[in-house]
C-alpha cells in the first residue's frame, strides 16, 4: 500500500476544510466567543452579584448595566482577535479541523453545564 497517496488525499481534504473556514475565521471566532459567554455568563454574573450585593438598588443596577454593556462587549471585542490569531497558528493543514474540534469542545462544555 502506498501511504503517500493516502497522506496526500488526507492533506487535500484538510486543506479543503480550511479553505471553507478561513474566509470566515473572524465571524467563526466571534460566534465561539458568544458561545463561551452563553456557557459561562452565569458564572461571571454570579461573581458580579457577590461583589455588588451590598450596594443600593440604583448603584447595583448601574453597575449591572455597565458590566453587561461594556464588560461583555470588551471581553468579546478583545478576545475574538486573540482567538483568530490562535487559530492562524494551526496552519493551513490543521485550521479547518481545529475549528470543527473547538465547536465540538464548546458543545461538550455546554452539555456538561446542562445547557443542551
Mean pLDDT of 14-29: 95
Cell reading at 5: 497517496
Query: Given a cut of 90, is residue 29 above it in pLDDT?
Result: yes
Task: Report the alpha-carbon distance of residue 116 to residue 107 in Å, rounded.
Answer: 8
Give the model confidence (pLDDT) of 39-52 as tens digits. 999 998 899 889 88
pTM here is 0.85
Query: Given a cut of 80, is residue 2 above it in pLDDT?
Result: no
Task: Report the alpha-carbon distance of residue 98 to residue 89 in Å, rounded.
Answer: 10
Mean pLDDT of 95-110: 96
C-beta of residue 33 within 8 angstroms of C-beta of residue 82: no
Distance between the two ends of the chain, CA-based, in angstroms? 44
Mean pLDDT of 85-112: 96
pLDDT band at residue 91 using 50, 70 and 90 as cut-offs:
very high
Amino acid at each position: 500500500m502506498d501511504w503517500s497517496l493516502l497522506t496526500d488525499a488526507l492533506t487535500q481534504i484538510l486543506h479543503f476544510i480550511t479553505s471553507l473556514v478561513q474566509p470566515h475565521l473572524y465571524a467563526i471566532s466571534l460566534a465561539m466567543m458568544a458561545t463561551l459567554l452563553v456557557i459561562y455568563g452565569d458564572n461571571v454574573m454570579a461573581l458580579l452579584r457577590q461583589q455588588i450585593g451590598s450596594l443600593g438598588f440604583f448603584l447595583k443596577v448601574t453597575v449591572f448595566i455597565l458590566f453587561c454593556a461594556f464588560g461583555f462587549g470588551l471581553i468579546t471585542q478583545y478576545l475574538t482577535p486573540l482567538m483568530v490569531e490562535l487559530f492562524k497558528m494551526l496552519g493551513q493543514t490543521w485550521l479547518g479541523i481545529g475549528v470543527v474540534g473547538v465547536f465540538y469542545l464548546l458543545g461538550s462544555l455546554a452539555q456538561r453545564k446542562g445547557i443542551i
